[in-house]
Amino acid sequence: MTNHPDAKTLARLWIEGWIAGKPDDIPLADEFTHTSPFGRMEGREKYLEWVKPMAAENVVSLKIVRIMGEGNEAVIHFIHETPKGPRPAVDWLVCKNGKILEIQSFYDAIELRD
């Protein structure tokens, strides 16, 4: 039996990967799906290609507030500091075999849209 990181650990790795500026190192499944106020993106590579330029423009810093989880699911509450001020955010992660399979992000994006 393979010992994989639990969902709470993967949630921390998710945010810490962005904090470190290394989103390519985040353990996302190839079939990763991300849903946010900007829409739904399917596929790890497609998601990273889309989100990295947006993050470079809109993420000043991220600060983890709390992480809760059980089994293959976790929720991470964090503060997303943007050029237009702080945005509280919550991401719900579904994980499988040590990878993040799906994330649903909840935050107010009204001032982040063009």
* Interatomic CA distance for residues 28 and 44, integer angstroms: 6
For residue 41, give its domain range.
Answer: 7-20+27-106
pTM equals: 0.91
* Strand duo 28-36 + 99-106: pairing: parallel
Report the domain count for the chain.
1
Share of the chain above pLDDT 90, in %: 81
In a domain? residue 16? yes
Q: With bands split at pLDDT 50, 70 and 90, how would you rate the model's confidence at 7?
A: very high
Q: Look over the chain and give the mean of its residue pLDDT values, rounded to a whole number.
A: 93
Residue 7 near residue 95 (C-beta atoms within 8 A): yes
Average pLDDT over residues 22-37: 96
Above 90 in pLDDT, residue 47?
yes
Q: What is the mean pLDDT of residues 24-38?
A: 96
pLDDT tens per residue, range 68-114: 999 999 999 999 998 989 999 999 999 999 999 999 999 987 766 65
Tell me the CATH number at 87.
Answer: 3.10.450.50
- At 58, is the pLDDT very low, low, confident or very high (cuts 50, 70, 90)? confident
Asked if the structure places residue 74 within a domain, the reply is yes
d(CA 40, CA 1): 33
Residue 84: inside a domain, yes or no? yes
